[in-house]
Structure 1
Amino acid sequence: MSDLIDEPEEGANAPEFTVTEISGAIKRVIEGEFGHVRIRGEIGRVSRPRSGHIYLDLKDDRSVLSGVIWKGVAARLATRPEEGLEVVAVGRITTFGGQSKYQIVIEDIRPAGVGALMAMLEKRKKALQAEGLFDPARKRPLPYLPDVIGVVTSPSGAVIRDILHRLRDRFPRKVLIWPVAVQGEICAPEVARAIEGFNRLTPGGPLPRPDLIIVARGGGSIEDLWGFNEEAVVRAAAASQIPLISAVGHETDTTLIDLAADRRAPTPTAAAELAVPVRMELLSWTDDQGARLTRALGYAITQRNQRLRDMSRALPRPRTLTEWAAQKLDTVGARLPQALIRGVDQRRLRLSHVTGSLRPSALRRTVQGKREQLQARAPRLAPALKRSAERRREMLNARAERLSPQPILQEIAREKRRVTDLSARLEKAGKAQITTRGERLTAWGRMLDTLSYQATLQRGYAVVWGDGAVVTTRAAAGAAQALEIEFADGRFTPGQSQPGPRKSTPKKTPPEQGNLF
């Protein structure tokens, strides 16, 4: 009978636990013992799956601790985890029963000192330089006189006032301000979105696309300027189709956006000086060019006049051309009466020879008849000779007129008047063109001020922004994660109270780290 009864095994009355129960118990013990802890170590393996979470290892020379950064926390981190970076991680120790391991859920992570930041900066600089983002060949020249300038900076700091004041002193231009945070966790994403947003604007659209972008911030420590060393900001500056000037910090401060920008300015004020020329210097240069043009025209006209005078001196005088013809006419006129008398005498002698061979009576009658005819024609001879002399004199005068330099002198006078008229018209046209272009430039400036969307806001309208872009439809407003309404005096976020003095809330001091042992 006793053989049929089993003896109870040793410890058979101890409770039994499932694997999940024992894992939960261990989880409660570890989480209860270790609340918030700060751990210093070097980042080892970093994994970024498509879920948005970040998995990494914290290690020292002897141990490795697994860590996880949930998606929501990763989006707010000021420092992006990179392999080899020495950091101080703040979080809570927990367990992961699925793999029987413990890990730290990281809530904040920061570099362990300036040395770690500089090491990470140098590593990031070499990686981006190897991709060619800092290549001088890809940098674009700045426009000489941009119509619209986009400024990415804080709207409440002294930087924007310095830029606007310098632009107003040198050459007033239309300025579009994209307000961003210039330090902290949201600095890098906001600056990158601002640069990309300016590039997405349509040229000639309701909101004009800038011809030049200035990214500006005042001086500060390396931690304050760290947002401008982020890879997203550097890539946005390198991909910008609009020429970009980087004016981050003072002259001694250097960030990675300075290397990717098309031009680097030592200060925000210097960036405004690089953006536009001095208006008074430009007007002085225009006046100087106009004076040079006037002097050149005057010199050209003087040369033409001198050439005409030289050509006129080379021509003979009009009196010289007619003196020879007049002298010849006088000589012929003086010889004509003697020639007529000799002609009459020769004919009388020839008549005497002829009449000597004739009979006296017949000859007498013939002579008498001829004498009568001669006496009848004699009165007409003098007028005929006079008419002949006059005809010859008229012919000589006509030839003299053809040889006269009067037509040449008239042609020279006409050319001189034409040159004088052309020079006057050219000078008048030059002055009119300069005046017209000045008036056109002034009219364009007034038109730009009239068509700006700020003028529309002054009349009571508003602009709705969603996720950094202008919302124009109801569907886009419903799809946007956050909406902002821009009025003439600033922006307003629905659901938030009006900006005002904020009460400082004391920061909660995390519980002291317990003893690990």
Structure 2
Amino acid sequence: MSDLIDDDIPGRNAPEFSVSDLSGAVKRLVEGNFSHVRVRGEVGRVSRPRSGHVYLDLKDDRSVIAGVIWKGVASRLRTPPEEGMEVVVTGRLTTFPGQSKYQIVIESLAPAGVGALMAMLEKRRMALAAEGLFDAERKRPLPRLPRVIGVVTSPSGAVIRDILHRLRDRFPREVIVWPVAVQGERCAPEVAAALRGFNALPAGGAVPRPDVLIVARGGGSLEDLWGFNEEIVVRAVAESDIPVISAVGHETDTTLVDFAADRRAPTPTAAAEFAVPVRADLLATLASFDERRQAALARLLQRQGERLRTTARVLPRPEVLLAERAQRLDIAAARLPLALRDHARAKRGLLQERGGSRLSPALLTGLIRHRRQQVTGLAQWIRPERAMAALTPEREALARLARRLEEARDITHTRRTALTALDRVMRAAGYQQTLARGYVVVRDAEGGVVTDGGALNTGQGLELEFRQETRVGVTVGDTAQPAKAKPRKSAPKSGPDGQGSLF
């Protein structure tokens, strides 16, 4: 009996639990005592599987608690958890029997003060800056006068009204508004989608493609503006082919979109001022340019006029330049008839020296006929069988004779043409043509031509030559005073068509 008492184990009479019963009891104990807790800590490892749930660790310098955010709660969080972020979470403790561990089911998550958000914001800014998204070389100049302006903002706020009012005052332009949520969990994806949607519009399509974009929102806290600090929005602004003006918050508010945009405006109203110039100022500038243009043109015309007048003083008058040439023309016109007559006389003498009387077309025609008869007789004499047996020298002689005949024919034609031209000139320049118009040639007894009637004596014998070589002898009678010639009627100054007469 004493052995039984000695072998008794303490707690042997305690009830036995199965593993599941014990895990369930622990689960009920933990959930019953920690059904609503708030925990402050630093976010450690963060995991986002395809299920949409978020798994993370909350830690401090000594302990670590596992945490889970179910899919529905994770989609509503204003600030997604990131590693290194100090947060305050609200939820309940529970156990996971499958791994004998406990965890906190997070129902809400918020940064632990502004300092935590600023630290996370600075960390993100440095990471994006290291990629070159904020470099000044990426900034593009804004268009001077855009045709279409795209605005990404809420359509129901005062921001869009301020922008439209300022555009109407400065320079009215066509405005396309892409409505988005400017706060909350839908802000970042909608703003990024709007920026990419504007860039996807084709040029010349049904919806005009904007020349500049304005991303605008009114003022608010850091949490309210957090959507414009999201990486998805910053990358959409940096990738935009259309220049972007950032106008998020008031002048003291700064978001990461401001660093990525091509131009930062302190307020939405200032963004409208950056987008378009003042129409009145442009008109005044154009008027000033036009006045300067007219003044410059007047000065140019004045200088050119002065140069023209100065040059005209040293230039001779046109009549002085033409006087010498006009005199030369008059002298040449007076000498032209004499030169033609002398030329014809010289050609006539040259023709007579070369035997012009012996040359005639009939003589050349007879010579050609004689040579042709010679060639014909020779061709009849040479029969085909004889031609085949003819010697080479005879054929060559025949060919030379044929060539000489062709040359003689060409020479005859050329000389005939020259003789015809000379005969035409001789007939035109001969005095027989003058006799044909009613004039006579007066010759004295020695056959000389009488050109001065005052040198004749009474009773002197003369010979008058008429056309067709008709000659009549006459005697000079008593000289008498010549009758006064009747004045000729002046020719009309101009013909019936108003053109002056040349004769």
User: Could you state the TM-score of these two structures normalised by the residue count of structure 1?
Assistant: 0.59
2:261 matches 1:261:
yes
Cα gap change, 1:259 to 1:374, in 2 (>3 Å): farther
Aligned ranges for residues 101-500 of structure 1 at < 5 Å? 101-302=101-302, 305-306=305-306, 308-310=308-310, 312-313=312-313, 314-316=315-317, 318=319, 367=460
Indicate the SS of the match to 2:235.
helix
For 1:368 and 1:26, how far apart are their aligned partners in 2? 181
Corresponding residue for 1:90? 90
In the TM superposition, residue 246 of structure 1 has moved relative to its aligned partner by 0.6
In the TM superposition, residue 293 of structure 1 has moved relative to its aligned partner by 3.9
What amino acid does structure 2 have at the position aligned with 1:275? A
For 2:116 and 2:237, how far apart are their aligned partners in 1? 25
**Are the counterparts in 2 of residues 78 and 186 from structure 1 also a CA contact under 8 Å?**
no
User: In percent, how many aligned pairs have the same letter?
Assistant: 66
For 2:462 and 2:74, how far apart are their aligned partners in 1? 153
In the TM superposition, residue 37 of structure 1 has moved relative to its aligned partner by 1.2
Indicate the SS of the match to 1:156.
coil
For 2:176 and 2:251, how far apart are their aligned partners in 1? 25
Indicate the SS of the match to 1:155.
coil
In the TM superposition, residue 296 of structure 1 has moved relative to its aligned partner by 4.5
**Are the counterparts in 2 of residues 77 and 108 from structure 1 also a CA contact under 8 Å?**
yes
What amino acid does structure 2 have at the position aligned with 1:279? R
For 2:159 and 2:290, how far apart are their aligned partners in 1? 38
The C-alpha deviation readout for 1:177-196, integer Å capped at 9, x for no partner, is 22233233333233222222
For 2:241 and 2:484, how far apart are their aligned partners in 1? 107
In the TM superposition, residue 115 of structure 1 has moved relative to its aligned partner by 1.3
What amino acid does structure 2 have at the position aligned with 1:65? I
For 1:98 and 1:155, how far apart are their aligned partners in 2? 51
The C-alpha deviation readout for 1:50-87, integer Å capped at 9, x for no partner, is 33322111111211101112222222211121222111
Cα gap change, 1:368 to 1:284, in 2 (>3 Å): same
Corresponding residue for 2:28? 28
Indicate the SS of the match to 2:90.
strand
Corresponding residue for 1:359? none
In the TM superposition, residue 200 of structure 1 has moved relative to its aligned partner by 2.5
For 1:378 and 1:50, how far apart are their aligned partners in 2? 148
Cα gap change, 1:379 to 1:101, in 2 (>3 Å): farther
Indicate the SS of the match to 1:41.
strand
Indicate the SS of the match to 2:98.
coil
Cα gap change, 1:298 to 1:30, in 2 (>3 Å): same
**Are the counterparts in 2 of residues 153 and 178 from structure 1 also a CA contact under 8 Å?**
yes
User: Could you state the TM-score of these two structures normalised by the residue count of structure 2?
Assistant: 0.61
Indicate the SS of the match to 1:98.
helix
For 2:477 and 2:134, how far apart are their aligned partners in 1? 124
Cα gap change, 1:373 to 1:59, in 2 (>3 Å): farther
For 2:322 and 2:458, how far apart are their aligned partners in 1? 56
Cα gap change, 1:372 to 1:275, in 2 (>3 Å): farther
For 1:9 and 1:374, how far apart are their aligned partners in 2? 204
Cα gap change, 1:105 to 1:322, in 2 (>3 Å): same
Specify every segment of 5 or more residues in structure 1 that has no aligned partner in the other structure, as ranges.
1-6, 330-350, 352-362, 387-517
In the TM superposition, residue 319 of structure 1 has moved relative to its aligned partner by 7.5
For 1:373 and 1:134, how far apart are their aligned partners in 2? 131
Corresponding residue for 2:371? none
Cα gap change, 1:378 to 1:317, in 2 (>3 Å): farther
What amino acid does structure 2 have at the position aligned with 1:255? T
Q: Which has the higher contact order (CA 8 A, sep 6+)?
A: 1
What amino acid does structure 2 have at the position aligned with 1:179? P
Larger Cα Rg: Structure 1 or Structure 2?
Answer: 2
**Are the counterparts in 1 of residues 87 and 112 from structure 2 also a CA contact under 8 Å?**
yes
In the TM superposition, residue 140 of structure 1 has moved relative to its aligned partner by 1.6
In the TM superposition, residue 8 of structure 1 has moved relative to its aligned partner by 12
What amino acid does structure 2 have at the position aligned with 1:145? L
Aligned residues: 354
Cα gap change, 1:104 to 1:306, in 2 (>3 Å): same
For 1:60 and 1:377, how far apart are their aligned partners in 2? 163
For 1:157 and 1:320, how far apart are their aligned partners in 2? 87
Corresponding residue for 2:19? 19
What amino acid does structure 2 have at the position aligned with 1:100? S
Indicate the SS of the match to 1:235.
helix
Indicate the SS of the match to 1:185.
coil
Indicate the SS of the match to 1:241.
coil
In the TM superposition, residue 262 of structure 1 has moved relative to its aligned partner by 0.6
Corresponding residue for 2:496? none
